[in-house]
A = this chain, B = another copy of it.
Amino acid sequence: MMEDERYARGLSILDAVDGESGHRVVDSLRDIAPDLARHIVSHAFGDIYARPGLQPRQRQLVTIGVLTALGGCEPQLEVHLNAALNVGLTPEEIVEALIHSSVYCGFPKVLNAVFVAKRVFAERGLLPVGAGRPGEV
**CB distance B54 to A65 under 8 Å?**
no
**CB distance B136 to A40 under 8 Å?**
no
Number of copies: 6
A44 to B92, CA, bound (A): 19
What bracket does the count of chain A residues touching chain B fall in?
35 or more
Interface presence of A108 (CB below 8 A): yes
Interface bits A1-45 vs B (CB < 8 Å: 1, else 0) = 111001000000000000000000110111111111111111110
Q: Is the interface of A mostly helix, strand, loop or mixed?
A: helix
CB within 8 A of A70: which of B40, B69, B102, B128? B69
A33 to B131, CA, bound (A): 8
**CB distance B66 to A34 under 8 Å?**
no
**CB distance A36 to B68 under 8 Å?**
no
Inter-chain pairs besides A30-B137, A44-B103, A53-B93, 19 sampled, C-beta below 8 Å: A1-B2, A3-B6, A32-B115, A33-B130, A35-B99, A36-B95, A36-B102, A36-B111, A36-B114, A39-B47, A39-B99, A48-B100, A51-B99, A58-B61, A59-B100, A66-B104, A69-B70, A102-B106, A103-B106
